[in-house]
């Protein structure tokens, strides 16, 4: 069957099976072998793909509930209306961001919690750079947070790496790369991230 | 310019100590107890306070350091150069610059984290933020470790520098090492500089003080200088060079005649020639030291010629021996005298002389004829002067008597009275004699004198000396007085008139008055009347500017005349166009406007409305009346 085809029979060295002492001549050059099943490369690849396209430094993150990230703001004459929400975590808004008229904006992202730069570490160079953020790619807790630009631990952000001076094979300059946030920015006051190479 | 005191710079703590100090201070001086269940604003304030407190502490301490350390541009160039030689100007400035940057960074960190803490919604979050803030500030200080160490060393060395006043009288000793400069200063002042047989015993500048001619003098001992070009000089020699370059002092170039210092006379002369440019503008004396070992006269011919050359150039050469002390005093006096003369010269050439010059210059009047005019000295002065010289015993004074008698002394002024009969000096004088007051009869001529006085007074009074201060009034004053009188009269009349007005009776409303009689403006009749009262001729004033009406008397306009109803007002007070014709060009427009107004009015009149706003209900069902529940009672009426 295909399964059997995929699992090859390999021969491995087996220490115990080698008999000590006199050995018949035709067995002299052989060491004990044992058969083991080794998964073929293809299987490995397929499993990798299943796991996800990216191998990230922070694979599992605690999911942030809505009550944690968004705070209810009461408005209205008698403070009865509760349709507005204020983001309590650090967020990123783009350059050309303008608020909607205050009467109509549902999600408030306070200016004090807006960050533009992140401290990004290159995993191989072990050097940290302060790079400007280009955008939020994915927030693992919820797609709503991604659209809002909320940055929590485990969020994948895109950063401007022109400072590093990376060049592609074709000679083009790389100026945007993904990085994953590794700390809780609302507790530390800064965004620390690891570059995804 | 801030006055710097090198001895009072604040201690610069090392980085580790600084951090420990500040953090423990924050721990001690801010409240420490906080619970989860406190209100969030209280928690926030608690942690914000800690962040701010730490930031403030760092800021204060760093600012103190920055202000205490002298700015090289603000201090005397001698000290600036000395500090450059000792501590390297660039390094010094960089270190202080780094401290400044650190201070600014810490301020920014504090600000940012306080801002962030406003959004902290739990104790844990605020606490983490505070921890991050404090940690960041401490890391900034940790990075300044090198600068802080360097500054501490500079501070310690700076406080031990000798206080040399660059502006006062100074004698500067220079020369090769081991020639006897330090011995000289030890002899002349109370300084105790180390004297040893090896070269470079003196490694830095030393100051000693001495007195001469009631003035304080500084003597500065320098390390020895070797003969090589300026770039090759090490720090120690550079200190000597700096002193030479910046202090305006008398230079004593010390030479070792006996060559015990290890350098020949020619070498010493070479050095002298090399540093000669530094001696410009300074009185110079060559001190030939160690003459107890070898005198100049014992030297070979060429060496003696060197000294003769010096003398020829105008530098005095004095032989000294610090061991036997011969010549030392001579050097001192000569150097001080020459320096004083030099300083006086400099001051004469300077700007400040003019203030003092009048005290220095004695003006002698030029002789206009040959007559001798000797100074006049009164006799008493001559006698007194003679007495002073001879020192004759003085007249016994009362004070001497008092001191002699001690407790028994009584002030007895009656012994000085000059009476005909001197035995009557101590007689008692009665106050009343035979019914008369003695004091009235002191002077036999007293009545006569009184009469004379009284006559004099009468004369004076008649002459008008005691009259009041009224000056003679000229025409102007008379006119002014007359006008004042008139004004006063008019005022009184007006007051009477207004009192007569019957205010309690019926009064016309202001609007009913004719337009030309608006009381804000002066009526023509009243104006003319007042002016005639004052004396002006107001008879033919129909053409006057105030009498012209800017519009015709008849209100109705003729049909064919298109006279603009509103003319440019000649005098603003008397022309105002009526409201219903203002802004309209001509008669046709006026008519049209009137018909339009009437038409608009028709509808409202039919509907019985007051105006446009009458009877229109904007909100048929107002929320505040119709919505909501009743606390008590029914909703039949609202």
* Tokens coding B376: 């006049």
Distance of CA A128 to the CA centre of its chain: 18
Closest-CA distance of chain A to residue B550, Å? 58
Q: Are A69 and A141 in contact (CB under 8 A)?
A: yes
**pLDDT at res. B555:** 55
With tokens 């009969």, the residue in question is B421
Backbone angles phi, psi at B287, to 5 degrees: -105, 115
Distance (Å) of CA B618 to CA B267, B604, B611: 114, 18, 15
* Tokens coding A87: 């983001």
Which CATH number does A70-195 carry? 2.40.10.310
pLDDT higher than threshold 70 for residue B439? yes
Residues 6+ apart with CB under 8 A from B194: B182, B201, B202
Residue B100: band (very low, low, confident or very high) from pLDDT cuts 50, 70, 90: very high
> Which comes out higher in pLDDT, residue B205 or A44?
B205
As a whole number, mean pLDDT of residues B295-318 equals 82
**pLDDT at res. B387:** 77
CB of B116 within 8 Å of any CB in chain A?
yes
> Which SS3 state, helix, strand or coil, does residue B413 take?
helix
Nearest by CB to B125, which of A71, A110, A187? A187
Chain A residues whose CB is inside 8 A of the B128 CB are: 184, 187-188
pLDDT higher than threshold 50 for residue B1? no
Domain B15-160 has CATH 2.70.70.10: no
The two beta strands, A173-174 and B284-289, are unpaired
Residue of B181, B172, B228, B220 lying closest to B200 (CA atoms): B181
As a whole number, mean pLDDT of residues A91-102 equals 91
* Tokens coding B183: 């011995």
Residues 6+ apart with CB under 8 A from B513: B519
CB contact under 8 A, A112 and B115: yes
What residues of chain A, 137 to 166, have a C-beta less than 8 Å from chain B? none
Residues 6+ apart with CB under 8 A from B389: none
CB contact under 8 A, A88 and B121: yes
Residues 6+ apart with CB under 8 A from A110: A86, A87, B119
Q: How many degrees, rounded to 5, is the angle at CA B561 between CA B557 and CA B564? A: 75
Mean pLDDT over the full length of chain B: 84
Q: How many degrees, rounded to 5, is the angle at CA A183 between CA A181 and CA A189? A: 105
Q: How crowded is residue B279: how many other Cβ atoms within 10 Å of its Cβ?
A: 16
Closest-CA distance of chain B to residue A46, Å? 42
| Signed CA dihedral, A151, A155, A160, A165: sign only | positive
Counting residues of chain B whose pLDDT is more than 90, the rounded percentage is 29
Residue of B317, B286, B339 lying closest to B179 (CA atoms): B286
CB contact under 8 A, B125 and A186: yes
Residue of B274, B254, B377, B391 lying closest to B318 (CA atoms): B254
Please state, in angstroms and rounded to a whole number, the distance separating the CA atoms of residues A179 and A128.
12
Distance of CA B611 to the CA centre of its chain: 72
Topology alike, domains B15-160 and B170-349: no
Please state, in angstroms and rounded to a whole number, the distance separating the CA atoms of residues B81 and B67.
20
pTM for this model (two decimals): 0.60
- What residues form DSSP beta bridges with A114? A91
Residues 6+ apart with CB under 8 A from B294: B257, B258
Q: Are B120 and B42 in contact (CB under 8 A)?
A: no
Q: Are B114 and B141 in contact (CB under 8 A)?
A: no
pLDDT higher than threshold 70 for residue B398? yes
Instruction: Count Cβ neighbours within 10 Å for each residue of A67-79 and write b for 16 or more, e otherwise.
Output: eebbeeeeeeeee
> Which SS3 state, helix, strand or coil, does residue A158 take?
strand
**pLDDT at res. B558:** 53
As a whole number, mean pLDDT of residues A96-118 equals 92
Q: Is B213 left (phi over 0), alpha (psi -120 to 50) or beta?
A: left
ipTM for the complex? 0.75
- Mutation target among B116, B123, B131 for the A interface, most CBs of A within 10 A: B116
CB of A109 within 8 Å of any CB in chain B?
no
Domain B170-349 has CATH 3.40.50.300: yes
Residue of B279, B234, B200, B221 lying closest to B85 (CA atoms): B234
CB contact under 8 A, B129 and A88: no
Nearest by CB to A112, which of B116, B121, B132? B116
> Which SS3 state, helix, strand or coil, does residue A112 take?
helix
> Which comes out higher in pLDDT, residue B338 or A53?
B338
Residue B384: band (very low, low, confident or very high) from pLDDT cuts 50, 70, 90: confident
What residues of chain B, 131 to 150, have a C-beta less than 8 Å from chain A? 132-133
Residue of A103, A102, A110, A129 lying closest to A118 (CA atoms): A129
- Mutation target among B113, B119, B133, B134 for the A interface, most CBs of A within 10 A: B119
Q: Are B280 and B249 in contact (CB under 8 A)?
A: no
pLDDT per residue as tens digits for the range B334-366 = 888 999 998 888 887 877 777 777 677 777 788
* Tokens coding B525: 């009749």
Please state, in angstroms and rounded to a whole number, the distance separating the CA atoms of residues A120 and A179.
7
CB of B122 within 8 Å of any CB in chain A?
no
**pLDDT at res. A3:** 65
Distance of CA B238 to the CA centre of its chain: 39
Backbone angles phi, psi at B251, to 5 degrees: -95, 130
Q: What is the 3-state secondary structure (H, E, C) of B51-100?
A: HHHHHHHHHHHHHHHHHHCCCCCCCCHHHHHHHHHHHCHHHHHHHHHHHH
Residue of A111, A106, A100 lying closest to A72 (CA atoms): A106
Domain edges within chain B = 15-160, 170-349
CB contact under 8 A, B132 and A190: yes
pLDDT per residue as tens digits for the range B511-538 = 665 554 555 567 788 888 888 888 887 7
Alpha-helix residue ranges (DSSP H) falling in A8-96: 41-51, 66-69
Closest-CA distance of chain B to residue A96, Å? 23
Alpha-helix residue ranges (DSSP H) falling in B144-229: 145-159, 181-188
pLDDT per residue as tens digits for the range B544-584 = 777 766 555 555 555 555 555 454 444 455 567 888 888 88
Inter-axis angle of helices B301-313 and B265-275, nearest 10:
20
Q: How many degrees, rounded to 5, is the angle at CA A160 between CA A159 and CA A162? A: 145
Inter-axis angle of helices B40-68 and B15-29, nearest 10:
140
**Nearest-10 Cα torsion for B412, B413, B419, B425:** -20
CB of B9 within 8 Å of any CB in chain A?
no
Q: Are B257 and B265 in contact (CB under 8 A)?
A: yes
Closest-CA distance of chain A to residue B55, Å? 16
The two beta strands, A128-138 and B250-256, are unpaired
- Measured between its terminal Cα atoms, the distance across chain A in Å is 39
- What residues form DSSP beta bridges with A129? A120
- Measured between its terminal Cα atoms, the distance across chain B in Å is 80
Please state, in angstroms and rounded to a whole number, the distance separating the CA atoms of residues A94 and A132.
11
As a whole number, mean pLDDT of residues A71-96 equals 93
Among A69-83, A131-145, B378-392, B560-574, where is mean pLDDT lowest? B560-574
The two beta strands, A81-87 and A107-108, are parallel
């Amino acid at each position: 069957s295909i399964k059997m085809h995929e699992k090859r029979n390999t021969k491995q060295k087996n220490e115990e099976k080698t008999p000590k002492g006199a050995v018949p001549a035709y067995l002299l050059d052989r060491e004990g072998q044992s058969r083991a099943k080794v998964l073929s490369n293809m299987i490995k690849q397929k499993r990798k793909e299943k796991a996800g396209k990216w191998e990230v430094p922070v694979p599992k993150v605690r999911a942030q509930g809505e009550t944690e990230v968004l705070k209810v703001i009461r408005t209205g004459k008698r403070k009865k209306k509760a349709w507005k929400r204020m983001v309590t975590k650090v967020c990123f808004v783009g350059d050309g961001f303008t608020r909607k008229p205050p009467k109509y904006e549902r999600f408030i992202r306070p200016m004090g919690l807006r960050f533009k730069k992140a401290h990004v570490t290159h995993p191989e160079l072990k050097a940290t750079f302060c790079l400007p953020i280009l955008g939020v790619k994915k927030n693992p807790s919820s797609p709503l947070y991604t659209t809002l630009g909320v940055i929590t631990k485990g969020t994948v952000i895109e950063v401007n790496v022109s400072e590093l001076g990376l060049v592609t094979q074709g000679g083009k300059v790389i100026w945007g790369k993904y990085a994953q946030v590794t700390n809780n920015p609302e507790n530390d006051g800064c965004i620390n991230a690891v570059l995804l190479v | 310019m801030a006055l710097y005191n090198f001895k009072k710079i604040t201690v610069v703590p090392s980085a580790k100590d600084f951090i420990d100090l500040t953090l423990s201070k924050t721990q001690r001086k801010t409240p420490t107890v906080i619970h989860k269940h406190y209100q969030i604003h209280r928690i926030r304030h608690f942690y914000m306070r800690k962040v701010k407190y730490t930031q403030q502490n760092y800021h204060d301490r760093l600012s103190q350091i920055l202000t205490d350390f002298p700015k090289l541009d603000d201090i005397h160039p001698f000290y600036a150069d000395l500090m450059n030689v000792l501590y390297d100007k660039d390094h010094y400035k960089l270190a202080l610059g780094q401290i400044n940057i650190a201070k600014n960074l810490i301020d920014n960190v504090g600000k940012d984290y306080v801002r962030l803490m406003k959004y902290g919604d739990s104790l844990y979050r605020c606490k983490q933020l505070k921890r991050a803030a404090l940690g960041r500030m401490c890391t900034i200080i940790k990075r300044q470790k090198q600068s802080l160490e360097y500054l501490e060393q500079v501070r310690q060395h700076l406080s031990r520098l000798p206080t040399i006043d660059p502006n006062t009288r100074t004698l500067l000793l220079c020369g090769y090492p081991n020639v006897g400069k330090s011995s000289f200063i030890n002899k002349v002042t109370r300084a105790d500089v180390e004297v040893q047989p090896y070269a470079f015993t003196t490694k830095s500048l030393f100051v000693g003080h001495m007195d001469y001619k009631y003035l304080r003098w500084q003597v500065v001992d320098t390390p020895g200088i070797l003969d090589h070009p300026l770039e090759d000089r090490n720090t120690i020699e550079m200190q000597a060079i700096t002193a030479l370059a910046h202090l305006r002092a008398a230079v004593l170039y010390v030479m070792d005649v006996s060559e015990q210092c290890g350098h020949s006379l020619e070498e010493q002369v070479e050095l002298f020639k090399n540093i000669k440019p530094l001696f410009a503008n300074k009185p110079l004396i060559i001190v030939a030291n160690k003459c107890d070992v070898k005198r100049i006269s014992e030297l070979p011919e060429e060496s003696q010629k060197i000294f003769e050359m010096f003398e020829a150039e105008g530098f005095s050469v004095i032989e000294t021996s610090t061991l036997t002390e011969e010549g030392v005093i001579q050097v001192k006096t000569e150097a001080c005298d020459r320096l004083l003369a030099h300083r006086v010269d400099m001051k004469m050439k300077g700007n400040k002389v003019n203030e003092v010059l009048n005290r220095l210059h004695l003006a002698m009047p030029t002789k206009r004829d040959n007559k001798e005019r000797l100074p006049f000295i009164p006799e008493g002065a001559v006698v007194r002067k003679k007495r002073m010289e001879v020192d004759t015993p003085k007249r016994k004074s009362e004070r001497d008597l008092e001191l002699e008698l001690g407790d028994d002394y009584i002030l007895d002024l009656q012994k000085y009275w000059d009476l005909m009969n001197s035995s009557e000096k101590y007689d008692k004088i009665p106050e009343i004699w035979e019914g008369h007051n003695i004091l009235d009869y002191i002077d036999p001529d007293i009545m006569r004198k009184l009469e004379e006085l009284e006559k004099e007074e009468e004369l004076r009074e008649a002459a008008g000396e005691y009259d009041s201060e009224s000056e003679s009034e000229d025409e102007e004053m008379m006119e002014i007085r007359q006008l004042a009188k008139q004004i006063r009269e008019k005022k009184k009349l007006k007051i009477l008139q207004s009192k007569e007005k019957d205010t309690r009776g019926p009064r016309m409303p202001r609007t009913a008055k004719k337009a030309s009689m608006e009381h804000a403006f002066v009526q023509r009749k009243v104006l003319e009347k007042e002016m005639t009262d004052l004396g002006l001729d107001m008879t033919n004033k129909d053409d006057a500017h105030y009498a012209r009406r800017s519009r015709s008397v008849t209100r109705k306009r003729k049909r064919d005349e298109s006279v603009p109803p509103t003319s440019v007002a000649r005098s603003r007070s008397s022309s105002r166009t009526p409201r219903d014709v203002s802004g309209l060009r001509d008669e046709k427009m006026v008519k049209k406007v009137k018909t339009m107004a009437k038409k608009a009015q028709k509808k409202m009149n039919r509907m019985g409305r007051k105006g446009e706003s009458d009877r229109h209900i904007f909100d048929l069902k107002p929320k505040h009346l119709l919505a909501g529940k009743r606390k008590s009672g029914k909703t039949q009426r609202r």
